[in-house]
C-alpha cells in the first residue's frame, strides 16, 4: 500500500444538492427518451414534488428516481404524502413491481436519465449547472486537504461525465472520479485501499457505510455520515461507533487526521 493519503467523497448530497436536477431530468427523460403511460404536464417542472424530496433518501441508484417520479405523476392513485409509506415499507419490492408493470429494465431507465442530462448540457449548460447547489464548506475542505498533500476521490452513482462537468464548473479538480460505470462503492474503495492510505470517507447513505465496514478489505476506513445529506430520520439513530455522524460545521476538525 502506498503512503499517499486519500480522502473519499460521495457526490450527490455531500458535495452538491441536486434535488432540482434529479426531478427536472427525470421528467425530461420520460418526456423525450422513455416509453411511459404518463403524459408530462409542463406544470410538473415548476417545483420539485415534496413527496419526491422525502423519498429521495431511499434511492441507491439514479434509475430508481425515475421509478418514484413515474409513480408521483401518474393519474390513478399517484404517490403522495398520504400513501408514500406503503411504498417505502417495501421499497425494493415495489421498485421491481413498477419495472415489471412497465416492461422496463434499470439499464433502460438509467440510459434515459443520462440522455436527458446530455440534452440539457448541449442545449443550455449553464441552466443545467444552476440546478445544482454546492455545499461550499465541502468544496473548501477538498481544497484544504490538497494543500496537505492529501488526494481526493469522488465516488458517485451518477455518471462520471456528469459529475466531472459539475466539479469543473465549481473549479474543483479531484485526482480521481468514479461513476456508476466503475462498480459499487465497496468495490471501488477496495481497489483504492490497495494503492492508497484511505483516511476518510464522507457519504450520506448509511447502508453504504455499513457495507464498507462489513468488508474485511475496507473496514479500517474511517467513515463519516453526512448530516447535511439525503438522510432518513432513522439514519442518525443508533449509529455503530465505527461510523461518525458529521455536521458541516465540524468539517474543519477532520483536518487533524
Q: Judge if 149 and 211 occupy the same domain.
A: yes
Range of the domain at 120: 19-129
User: pTM score, two decimals?
Assistant: 0.92
Which of 36-45, 75-84, 174-183 is most confident? Answer: 174-183
Name residues whose C-beta falls within 8 Å of residue 116's C-beta, 6 or more positions apart in sequence: 25, 26, 28, 29, 32, 33
Q: What is the pLDDT of residues 123-158, one digit of tens each?
A: 999 999 999 999 999 999 999 999 999 999 999 999
pLDDT of residue 257: 55
Q: pLDDT tens for residues 217-232?
A: 999 999 999 999 999 9
| Same domain membership, residue 166 and residue 61 | no
Q: Are 127 and 117 in contact (CB under 8 A)?
A: no
CB of 137 closer than 8 Å to CB of 250: no
Q: Decide which of 129, 155, 190 is a domain's last residue.
A: 129
- Does 1 score more than 60 pLDDT? no
| CATH number for position 196 | 3.40.50.1000
Same domain, 121 and 176: no
219/207 same-domain check: yes
Q: Is residue 151 domain-shared with residue 80, that is, in the same domain?
A: no
Residues 20-65 pLDDT 10s: 999 999 999 999 999 887 778 899 999 999 999 999 999 999 999 9
* Amino acid 253: pLDDT: 85
Chain centroid to CA 237: 21
Are residues 101 and 170 located together in one domain of the fold?
Answer: no
Same domain for 229 and 200: yes
Residue 141 CB burial class (10 angstroms; 0-12, 13-18, ≥19): buried
* R_g of the chain, CA atoms, integer Å: 19
- Element containing residue 244 per DSSP (H, E): strand 243-246
Are residues 148 and 178 both part of a single domain?
A: yes
pLDDT the model gives residue 41 = 87
Q: What are phi and psi of 31, to 5 degrees?
A: -70, -35
Q: Are 65 and 166 found together in one domain?
A: no
pLDDT at residue 190 tops 60? yes
Mean pLDDT of the chain: 95
Number of domains in the chain: 2
Residue 232: how many CB atoms within 10 A of its CB?
15
129, 156, 184 - which closes a domain: 129
* Residue that terminates a domain, selected from 90, 109, 129: 129
Amino acid at each position: 500500500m502506498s503512503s499517499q493519503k486519500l480522502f473519499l467523497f460521495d457526490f450527490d448530497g455531500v458535495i452538491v444538492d441536486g434535488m432540482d436536477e434529479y426531478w427536472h431530468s427525470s421528467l425530461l427523460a420520460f418526456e423525450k427518451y422513455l416509453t411511459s403511460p404518463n403524459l408530462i404536464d409542463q406544470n410538473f417542472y415548476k417545483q420539485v414534488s415534496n413527496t419526491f424530496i422525502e423519498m429521495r433518501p431511499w434511492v441507491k441508484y439514479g434509475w430508481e428516481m425515475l421509478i418514484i417520479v413515474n409513480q408521483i405523476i401518474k393519474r390513478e392513485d399517484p404517490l403522495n404524502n398520504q400513501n408514500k409509506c406503503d411504498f417505502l415499507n417495501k421499497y425494493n419490492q415495489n421498485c421491481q413491481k413498477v419495472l415489471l408493470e412497465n416492461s422496463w429494465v434499470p439499464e433502460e431507465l438509467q440510459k434515459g436519465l443520462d440522455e436527458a442530462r446530455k440534452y440539457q448540457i448541449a442545449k443550455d449548460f449553464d441552466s443545467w449547472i444552476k440546478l445544482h447547489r454546492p455545499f461550499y464548506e465541502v468544496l473548501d475542505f477538498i481544497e484544504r486537504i490538497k494543500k496537505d498533500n492529501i488526494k481526493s476521490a469522488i465516488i458517485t452513482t451518477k455518471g462520471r461525465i456528469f459529475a466531472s462537468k459539475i466539479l469543473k464548473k465549481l473549479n474543483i479538480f479531484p485526482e480521481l472520479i468514479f461513476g456508476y460505470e466503475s462498480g459499487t462503492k465497496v468495490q471501488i474503495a477496495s481497489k483504492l485501499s490497495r494503492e492508497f492510505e484511505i483516511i476518510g470517507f464522507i457519504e450520506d447513505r448509511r447502508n453504504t457505510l455499513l457495507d464498507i465496514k462489513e468488508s474485511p478489505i475496507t473496514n479500517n476506513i474511517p467513515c463519516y455520515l453526512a448530516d447535511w445529506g439525503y438522510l432518513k430520520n432513522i439514519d442518525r439513530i443508533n449509529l455503530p461507533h465505527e461510523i461518525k455522524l458529521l455536521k458541516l460545521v465540524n468539517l474543519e476538525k477532520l483536518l487533524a487526521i
